Amino acid sequence: MSWFLGFDSSTQSLTAIILDTDTGTVVRECSLNFGRDLPEYGSPQGVLDHADPLVRHANPLMWVAALDKLLARLRADGVDLGRVRGISGSGQQHGTVYLAPAFADGPLPLDPARDLAAALKPLLTRATAPVWMDSSTSAECAEIAAAAGGAEAVRARSGSPPIERFSGPQIRRFYQTEPAAYDRTGVIHLVSSFMASVLAGRSVGIDPGDGAGMNLLNLATGAWDPLLLAATAPGLAAKLPPAVPASARVGVVAPYFVAKYGFAAGTPVIAWSGDNPSSLVGVGAWQPGTAVISLGTSHTYFAAMPRPVVDPDGYGHVFGNPAGGFMSLICFKNGALAREKVRDQFKLDWDDFERLLAVTPAGNHGNLMLPYFVPEITPLVLRASPVLRGAPDFVAGRDPAATVRALAEAQALRLRLHSCWMGVPPAVVRVTGGAAVSPGVRQILADVFNARVERLEIGNSAALGGALRAANGVAGIPWADLSAAFCQPVAGDTAEPIPANVAVYDQLLPEYAAFAQAGAA
- In eight-state DSSP terms, residue 484 is H
pLDDT confidence of residue 356: 97
One-letter-per-residue 3-state SS of 162-198: CCCCCHHHHHHHHHHHCHHHHHHCCEEEEHHHHHHHH
Integer Cα distance of 323 and 196 in angstroms: 18
Integer Cα distance of 256 and 109 in angstroms: 9
pLDDT in 10s for each residue of the chain, 521 residues: 599 999 999 999 999 999 999 999 999 999 999 999 999 999 998 999 999 988 999 999 999 999 999 999 999 999 999 999 999 999 999 999 999 999 999 899 999 999 999 999 999 999 999 999 898 999 999 999 999 999 999 999 999 999 998 999 999 999 999 999 999 999 999 999 999 999 999 999 999 999 999 999 999 999 999 999 999 999 999 999 999 999 999 999 999 999 999 999 999 999 999 999 999 999 999 999 999 999 988 899 999 998 889 998 889 999 999 999 999 999 998 999 899 999 999 999 999 999 999 999 999 999 999 999 988 989 988 888 999 999 999 999 999 999 999 999 999 999 999 999 998 899 999 999 889 999 999 999 999 999 999 999 888 899 999 999 999 999 999 999 999 999 999 999 999 999 999 999 999 999 999 999 988 76
Integer Cα distance of 402 and 400 in angstroms: 6
Q: Do you find a cis peptide bond into 379, omega within 30 degrees of 0? A: yes
Report strand pairing: 376-377 vs 129-130: unpaired
Integer Cα distance of 112 and 254 in angstroms: 11
Q: Other CB atoms closer than 10 Å to residue 516's CB: what's the count?
A: 20
Residue 423 has phi, psi (to 5 degrees) of 75, 20
Q: Is 362 left (phi over 0), alpha (psi -120 to 50) or beta?
A: beta
The radius of gyration computed from the CA coordinates of the chain, to the nearest angstrom, equals 23
pLDDT confidence of residue 521: 64
How far are the Cα atoms of 22, 120, 255 from residue 262, in angstroms, in the given order? Answer: 22, 21, 10
Residue 18 has phi, psi (to 5 degrees) of -115, 125
Integer Cα distance of 143 and 154 in angstroms: 12
pLDDT confidence of residue 125: 98
State CA 334 to chain mean position distance: 17
Report strand pairing: 380-381 vs 376-377: antiparallel
Expressed in percent and rounded to 5, the helix, strand and coil fractions of the chain are 45, 20, 35
Which superfamily is assigned to 284-457+491-521 in CATH? Answer: ATPase, nucleotide binding domain (3.30.420.40)
Give the residue ranges of DSSP H helices in 254-367.
255-261, 275-282, 336-345, 350-359
**pLDDT tens, residue by residue, 331-347:** 998 999 899 999 999 99
Domains 3-277 and 284-457+491-521 share a fold: yes
Integer Cα distance of 395 and 417 in angstroms: 23
Q: What is the pTM of this model?
A: 0.91
Contacts of 305 (CB under 8 A, 6+ apart): 288, 318, 321, 325, 326, 327, 328, 422, 424
Integer Cα distance of 460 and 210 in angstroms: 18
> Three-class SS of residue 82?
helix
Evaluate whether 3 touches 26 at the Cβ level (below 8 Å).
Answer: no
Residue by residue, DSSP assigns 222-267 as TEE-HHHHHHH-TTGGGGSPPB--TT-EEEE--HHHHHHH-PPTT-
Residue by residue, DSSP assigns 96-156 as EEEE-HHHHHS-----TTS-HHHHHGGGBSSSSEE-TT----HHHHHHHHHHHT-HHHHHH
The CATH number of domain 3-277 is 3.30.420.40:
yes
Domain limits, the chain: 3-277, 284-457+491-521
